[in-house]
Structure 1
Amino acid sequence: MEKPAVLKTDGSDFPDVLDYQSGFGNHFSSEAISGALPPDQNSPLICPFGLYAEQISGTAFTAPRKLNQRSWLYRIKPSVTHEPFKPRVPAHEKLVSEFDRSNTSANPTQLRWKPVDIPDSPTDFIDGLYTMCGAGSAFLRHGYAIHMYAASKSMDNCAFCNADGDFLIVPQKGKLWITTECGMLQVSPGEIVVLPQGFRFAVDLPDGPARGYVAEIFGTHFQLPDLGPIGANGLAAPRDFLVPTAWFEDASRPGFTIVQKFGGELFTAKQDFSPFNVVAWHGNYVPYKYDLSKFCPYNTVLLDHSDPSINTVLTAPTDKPGVALLDFVIFPPRWLVAEHTFRPPYYHRNCMSEFMGLVFGGYEVNCYHI
């Protein structure tokens, strides 16, 4: 039987242009080799090219159709063919996923901090992660964590998988080249990328040292906010969200390590092949990126100020209508026009905690922050 072509990279040679598919929540399909997608079935007795069919689910099988998220991957070797997971040694001491009073402390004071320095020692994305704050529990599947990362080198012969929740990554310094099981994503400061729970990925640093923010949510997924009186258009447009196209690596990778985050702890498993061996895939559960400059903000044009929620890009809803587990809100460059009111946004105390980070510009001036 015909074997798939060999496509591989050593992490130092990046394509000049990547192809993407567009849309938010669409059902996508992509194949790196024509004919690799089964035409009539998800899991035929024999897949084209002798590939293995795997389904990755982001929701329960029985979730309502409009909420159900899953994709079918067609890969050269099954993802389960690795050694048993073992606790990572040394342990990562700066990651937190359980936010109860036994292992964390609360402080109601407003806090500010300076950006951390890029480590002098070689530090990849995984080791460069550290938790700033959070609430809830990864084990209870409800809550969130806010992390930051500061990395000085690309991930080498390893991939990361977050079994606790979704990562929303906001680069602040340095471009990220992210290889996923669905394909490749290039993400620069001013863009965001969402890596859903369960997907394996690797982060390379084509421009050198990198730093940024990470929002992690447990037990739910991001979605576009309802627009209400705004109408059919505005804020983040679904067509501006980009997902990768199929790309695969068919090569022996002795000692390749899968690093899995589970319950806030890191575990490792060895395998002798790349996890990025998916030749074709289809579904609506997929990594995606978004260029924040495409966000269409709305603003006050007469008196008083709109609530900051008017700038929501993505939201992670709860079962309580109108209440989010986490909102991702941006304040891009925009006109601030209002009569008979103090121009800067009003001071407010509310039932939600706010974590603000600067991407471009200067703090407390017309800037670009989240």
Structure 2
Amino acid sequence: MSGDARKRAEGLTYLHGFGNEHSSEAVSGALPEGRNAPQRAPLGLYAEQLSGTAFTEPRAHNRRSWLYRIRPSAAHPAFRRTDNGALRSAPFTETVPDPNRLRWDPMPEPAPGTDFLAGLWTLGGNGDAAQRTGMAVHLYHANASMERVFSDADGELLIVPEHGGLLLHTEFGALLAEPGHVALVPRGVRFRAELLDDGARGYVCENYGAPFRLPDLGPIGANGLANARDFRAPAAAYEDVEGPVEVVNKFCGNLWAAEYDHSPLDVVAWHGNHVPYVYDLRRFNVIGSVSYDHPDPSIFTVLTSPSDTPGLACVDFVVFAPRWLVGEDTFRPPYFHRNVMSEYMGLVEGAYDAKSAGKGGFVPGGGSLHNMMSAHGPDRATFDRASTAELKPQKIDDGLAFMFETRWPVTLTSHAARAEHLQQRYDDVWQGLERHFRPLP
């Protein structure tokens, strides 16, 4: 938005490392020594623990942070129900699960004065927010910065900007998230989204289940995919603001609002591992074949939210980052397939190597949904081109696509099922795939 805001964002210092214990203080001496909650916290602050997992979860997966703040979170008036807008939550019962392949154009322009929260538009999801299972797919389109503060008690928010930057002011400090980045706001963490441009558009995965973590690498070894040191947490920065501030809380699928007499973004120091972070998707270390055949897309997993069945995720976040293709005698775009998982795919920039772009195609800001066992793959134009292309080393660096992949079908909201920007003839991209079968004599 303003040049000053962008300067503040670019001037931030970050702490490195994913899932590790971190600490930061905006004022020297604000972090207590040796005790999380001493009898008197330093500088007249209040000590408060924010737990993102149950107290008794295994140490390796336990998420919690200690906050040292000007006023405790408990100091607020009662919340009241407020309008949900186009935001919906699980369980999704407005429509029945749809086996058809679906694709949407980018979101239409929002009304003037639409902030990030008002600009959230739910496509669909699965599970049950109150039972902490499943996920939801949202899109956002905003043209105004948030003056209010928002938190989500139902799940963590994985934000994927596609157009326009966001400066996320959180309880822990500020994060800059621009197209090509992904930002995560943990369950229950309060934040405000400031626009760094005239407008902002992108995607959000609301994860009701276990917090996202790095996937195990198995035979890959110790290195590859997303590196822990590339995830950045904010440096502590607090707001010492007295006066009315609207705070909105998402709880069991509905929005509730209260008017505080101070800013809740008043954390002067913190330490822990339940923290917001940002990750540059271009730092993803792509692993692929250097001999033949096309690896399964699971090899592109950035983050995973595991379920109670090993290897079967509540939701995976997968990125198709710039990479070389070198396979010999190999059809190089993604192969035709049917999958037990359900896939929502979005495009941040450029073109996806399995779909044609342009009017009526797969374009940045758009998205497609292939629910479990729906047959999909390259369109006819891509198939014809790839089947006859010279198989020399090829750099794929003109696009950045991603997937939210989940173990359960994604059920649409009613407004997504009848949206004007839902493409009505998506199936046509596979028409004209001719018969080439020639039996041997």
Q: TM-score, normalised by structure 2?
A: 0.79
Structure with more of its chain in helix, by fraction: 2
Deviation at 1:219, TM superposition (A): 2.9
Tell me the residue number matched to 1:144.
135
Tell me the residue number matched to 1:346.
335
Question: What amino acid sits opposite 2:401 in the alignment?
Answer: H
Kindly, what percent of the aligned residue pairs are identical?
Answer: 53
Give the aligned length: 356
- The match for 2:322 among 327, 333, 336 is 333
Aligned-partner Cα distance in 1 for 2:7–2:262 = 20
Tell me the residue number matched to 1:131.
122
Deviation at 1:243, TM superposition (A): 0.1
Matched, 1:302 2:291: yes
- The match for 2:247 among 226, 237, 258 is 258
Tell me the residue number matched to 1:8.
none
Tell me the residue number matched to 2:181.
191
Matches within 5 A, 1:1-370: 15=8, 16-88=10-82, 91-100=83-92, 102-156=93-147, 158-252=148-242, 254-363=243-352, 364=355, 366=396, 367-370=399-402
Name the SS for the 1:330 alignment partner.
Answer: strand
Deviation at 1:242, TM superposition (A): 0.2
Aligned-partner Cα distance in 2 for 1:355–1:319 = 22
Q: Do the aligned partners of 1:118 and 1:210 also contact (CA within 8 Å) in 2? A: no
Aligned-partner Cα distance in 2 for 1:121–1:82 = 30
Deviations 1:214-243 (A, max 9, x none): 001113100001111111101100000000
Name the SS for the 1:223 alignment partner.
Answer: coil
Aligned-partner Cα distance in 2 for 1:62–1:123 = 41
Deviation at 1:117, TM superposition (A): 2.5
Aligned-partner Cα distance in 1 for 2:292–2:268 = 55
Tell me the residue number matched to 1:3.
none
Unmatched segments (≥5 aa) in structure 1: 1-10
Aligned-partner Cα distance in 1 for 2:291–2:178 = 36
Question: Greater CA radius of gyration, 1 or 2?
Answer: 2
Moved over 4 A (4+): 11-14
Question: What amino acid sits opposite 2:345 in the alignment?
Answer: M
Aligned-partner Cα distance in 2 for 1:209–1:93 = 19
Aligned-partner Cα distance in 2 for 1:108–1:122 = 37
Aligned-partner Cα distance in 2 for 1:251–1:135 = 39
Deviations 1:241-266 (A, max 9, x none): 000011011121x2201100111110
Deviation at 1:14, TM superposition (A): 5.1
Q: TM-score, normalised by structure 1?
A: 0.93
